[in-house]
Chain A
Amino acid sequence: MRAAGRLALTLALVPALAAGTALAQEAPPVPAPPAPAVGPAVPDPAVPDPAAAVTAVPEDPNPEGGPPLVAIDPGHGGGDTGAIGQIPAGTVTGLPARGAIGGKLYEKDVNLDIARRLNDILVARGYPTLMTRTIDKGAGDEPYRSERADLRARVAMANAAGADLFVSIHANAAPPSFHGTETYRFYSTGTAGMLLARSIHEEVVFRNGLADRGVKSAGFYVLKYTSMPAVLLESGFVTNRDEAQLLAQPDFREKIAEGLGAGIDRYVREGGPVEAGETVAPEPVPIRFWVTAGVFRRAADARERAAAAREAGFAALVRGRASARLKRNLYYVVTGRFSLIENARAQRDDLREAGFPGKVGAAKPPAAAAA
């Protein structure tokens, strides 16, 4: 298992691979779909028993000192479009044009774009990654054949590579009134899975600004059969008019990718080792410390600093807050949010080493009036 992980780690660091080369040749052979056997008495031999997966969860996200191997799973692909939303014809999406006049938004395209952005972010920060698909095809960049074969292959890739975390990226669908972001974990996941789901969810909602539908549990295939902490993000609703238009924007998808990256970072820094097999939900970890790389009177200056910090590998974003004393808005370049002062100071030091005026703040989060 670990040997496989090392192999995948080395391969995933090859730039060509990170840039989007198909992983098909590295992927383990996809087992044939099982004979349909609805019944708990006939477990699928090719996938681990979900109950076993609970105890097999590697609770320490970083057992060997290196960054964990992150499996990124862009939902759907190829003949499986995922949910379909409507956007105004002619919208510049940065995605393949869908529909006769480009008025459609395919979930599979949104998912893949966010996944590629997340991959770039993680690779820039030194994480080894594995994408279950890198192009508009099924798992392993192979043609989409059937839903079950596709889901099985995604799980098999991550399990065989010994991935430490699994992040499935989706967009939601429902009647048009539904809106917001929700994140799923497996219903009997360990504490690690809960912390991962919570960290990712909070960081994504913080950045995309959509309604918070919460962290939920369900028995989705990729959550049930992966043997590492796994989450499934539903970034927003393609069936909601406003959210479809947001998801169609490259900048908005970048915010979601940054949220995913920040959530993974936070989990790796603060998830910590927990008792194996523990299934009790921990108390939410309160965010008490903010790290900033500068405060500006002009939003444009803050954005420029944030861009430079991102260039240097920090998950920087701009948050505006009204200053009662100065009677005007100040714009903070926020690079991290932490519950432990030690972690906040560590990032501050990283910032200073990279030439930024890193500072730890402990007051209420600067949340109002985002720039």
Chain B
Amino acid sequence: MRAAIVRRYLAAAALGAVVALAPACSDDDAPPATTASTATTPATTGGSTATAPGEVTVYFANAEGKLASETREGTPDLRGAMDALAAGPEDPDLVAALPAGTRVLSAEVEGSLARVDLSEEFESGYPSGGAAAELATVGPIVATATAIPGVESVAITVEGRVPQPTGTQLDFSMPFTPADVPLEPVS
């Protein structure tokens, strides 16, 4: 069991930059409405058309539960950042945010809202309890997405629907702001 716990937090590196293409969302469980008034033009889509390579910043919790960042080569948009997040931290002292095997199905920015759609491993591998474990999972997603200029909140879906991982204390039916899942930055 201890091994399983360790595995949950240490695994994920194997995914690399595999980009899974999948429908952005299903029809009946409607994905989030935008926070902002009008803007709906996807700034980024879940495609593989990597444009200008650059640097992307991803956030992870460290062993004290504080927020640390890593910079990677990659597409400097939401999709690039989320893929880097799914790939896991390079620093072995940081904690993988997404449960092992989680893939980013789509990542789009609509106005100030980022929509991130994840594969079902996110829900099935989600921590069964514990604020620290939840914040180390969802906090880095929100911190990484809101680090993109203009993004203020993040709606997380799993295969197009609102996830409902057993044991969560968070409200996935509403977009998350950094205040929902704060992690103290490393000093």
Residues from chain B with a CB closer than 8 A to the CB of A80 are: 128-129, 166-167
Whether A148 contacts B133 in the complex (CB less than 8 A), given A39-B34, A221-B171, comes out as no
Interface set of A (CB-CB < 8 Å, partner B): 34, 36-42, 44, 75-76, 79-84, 86, 104, 107, 146-148, 151, 170-178, 182, 184, 187-188, 213, 216-222, 224-225, 232, 234, 237-239
Besides A34-B173, A178-B63, A220-B131, 18 other A-B contacts (C-beta < 8 A): A39-B174, A40-B35, A40-B174, A41-B35, A83-B127, A83-B133, A107-B129, A174-B65, A174-B130, A174-B133, A175-B5, A175-B6, A178-B132, A184-B131, A221-B171, A225-B171, A232-B131, A237-B130
- 16 example contacts (A-B, Cβ-Cβ < 8 A) are as follows A37-B30, A37-B173, A76-B129, A79-B166, A84-B1, A146-B164, A170-B131, A172-B130, A173-B128, A174-B95, A176-B6, A184-B131, A219-B180, A234-B130, A239-B5, A239-B133
Asked if B143 is at the interface of the complex by the 8 Å CB criterion, the answer is no
Asked if B169 is at the interface of the complex by the 8 Å CB criterion, the answer is yes
Residues from chain B with a CB closer than 8 A to the CB of A225 are: 171
Asked if B141 is at the interface of the complex by the 8 Å CB criterion, the answer is no
The tally of residues in B whose CB lies under 8 Å from a CB in A reads 49
CA distance A42 to B180 in the complex (A): 18
Whether the pair A44, B180 counts as a contact (CB closer than 8 A) is: no
Whether the pair A171, B129 counts as a contact (CB closer than 8 A) is: yes
CA distance A147 to B179 in the complex (A): 22
CB closest residue in chain A, given B130? A173
Interface locus among B12-20, B49-57, B77-85, B154-162: B154-162
CA distance A76 to B129 in the complex (A): 8
- Bits for B121-161, please: 1 = Cβ < 8 Å to A, else 0: 00000011111110110000000000000000101110001
Whether the pair B169, A237 counts as a contact (CB closer than 8 A) is: no
